[in-house]
Amino acid sequence: MQIEFEFATATRIIFGEGALRQVAPAAKQWGRRVFIVTGRAPERADQLRADLEAGRAQCFAFAVEGEPTVDLIARGLERARERQCDVVVAMGGGSVIDAGKAIAALLTNPGELMDYLEVVGKGNALQNPAVPFIAVPTTAGTGSEVTRNAVLGVPARQVKVSLRSPLLLPRLAVVDPELTLGLPPAVTARTGLDALTQLIEAYVSIRSNPVTEGFCVQGIPLAARSLRRAFHHGLDPGARREMSLAALFSGLALANAGLGVVHGFAAPLGGRFPASHGAICAAILPYGMEINLRALRARAPQSDALRRYQEVARMLTDRADASAEDGIRWTRDICLELEIPPLKAYGIQEHDVAALIAEAAKASSMKGNPLALTPEEMREVLTRSIRGSDE
């Protein structure tokens, strides 16, 4: 067996409480005009800004509200170009980090975003290295701080597409669990369940290998024992630390192993409906697992993914005798406890299913699924995630 692992990750990762203070000294090596991308509460970056200014950097702020779109990236890019910024720091959730990645890369590449976007744009390859980019996640979810794509919305086409290039990888990822202390329970739930979904999908992926497995077998138990605690006790530093690590591992695993049916559906759903990525993934996860398991037993009984689903169940339940079904039950229970609504809560209806199946079948994440699902099976995954019942 050949193992391939591309170090498709941020060049350097600093993890730990207080790591935020490492951003300014790193930025100082690379430039003096810093473009700071934040979420809708820019004051959360006050400490960062003070540190940068104490090191004589000039700072220019840009706030991303909601998920990033092509227009928003164009506005940010224009501002960063005008100010001649030579470093980009993004401090926020996955959306903010993805916006920062795109702006940092386009600052050094000619033309506009559409020239480089897949599916809806020309899909040209980025040519020049981005300006140095530092990613500082404030949620424990996407793992975007270590991956090489940025997910951007194109509202006119009702899709979300990726800008992809190894040149998008952050120069530095600073993961400081203290930044996630006190995140609202709903945000903790959906981001944490996204990380857990990514760990499970990467673990059972047909592209998984012993290197990516290492991240998953470390990450799944961390999320399993800390997600409830982080949800109910948002100021628990131990739970927040473990969730930040789990999210980081999920990004490291998926960048090499890929994902599966849950993320395959998340791509088209996220472009058409006003639901966050994590909430969509969480609502689909139990059904994606159940139908994958059934299909594997019927058509690929020799598949190693069957053993892996059982292993997932052991890690989730912390019980050596857990069956794969116990793992599915565990995910269903945690979605209930963390108040994840079924997809119908976002206006997704059963007459949308056919079009969504066709789009999901083309999604790049689908290629990692442990086996190819039939259209009927895909329909069942989505219909049950919409209804959220077990009939």
- Residues making contact with Zn ion (CB under 5 A): 194
How buried is 82 (Cβ within 10 angstroms: 0-12 exposed, 13-18 middle, 19+ buried)?
exposed
Residue number with CB closer to Zn ion (76 or 141): 141
Write down the least CB distance from residue 201 to Zn ion, Å.
Answer: 8
Query: 272-294 burial, b if ≥16 CB within 10 A, otherwise e?
Result: bbebbbbbbbbbbbbbbbbbbbe
Minimum CB distance to Zn ion, residue 264 (Å): 11
Query: Are the C-beta atoms of residues 228 and 337 closer than 8 Å to each other?
Result: yes
The least CB distance from residue 266 to Zn ion, in Å, is: 6
Of 62 and 287, the one with the shorter C-beta distance to Zn ion is 287
Q: What count of residues does the chain have?
A: 391
**Position of minimal CB gap to Zn ion:** 194
In angstroms, give the least distance from the CB of 277 to Zn ion. 6
Nearer to Zn ion by Cβ, of 80 and 150: the residue is 150
Of 22 and 139, nearer to Zn ion (C-beta) is 139
Residue pair 278/270 in contact (Cβ under 8 Å)? The answer is no
Residue closer to Zn ion, measured from CB, 194 or 290: 194
Angle (CA) 305 306 307, round 5°: 90
The set of residues, in sequence order, having a beta carbon less than 8 Å from that of 39 and lying 6+ positions away, is 63, 64, 65, 92, 93, 95, 96, 138
Q: Are 113 and 121 in contact (CB under 8 A)?
A: yes
Q: Please say which residue, 106 or 259, places its beta carbon nearer to Zn ion.
A: 259
Decide: residue 203, CB within 10 A, 0-12 exposed, 13-18 middle, 19+ buried: buried
Q: How far is the CB of 263 from Zn ion (least distance, A)?
A: 6
List % helix, strand, coil for the chain (3-state, nearest 5). 60, 10, 30
Helix (H) or strand (E) holding 88: strand 87-92
- Residue 165 and residue 1: Cα distance in Å, rounded? 28
CB of residue 198 vs Zn ion: minimum separation in angstroms?
5
Closest distance between Zn ion and the C-beta of residue 228, in Å?
20
Q: How far is the CB of 6 from Zn ion (least distance, A)?
A: 19
Strand 172-175's sheet: what is its strand order? Answer: 12-15, 172-175, 133-137, 87-92, 33-38, 58-63
Q: Which is nearer to Zn ion, 176 or 194 (CB)?
A: 194
Nearer to Zn ion, 133 or 265 (CB): 265
**Three-state secondary-structure class, residue 206:** coil
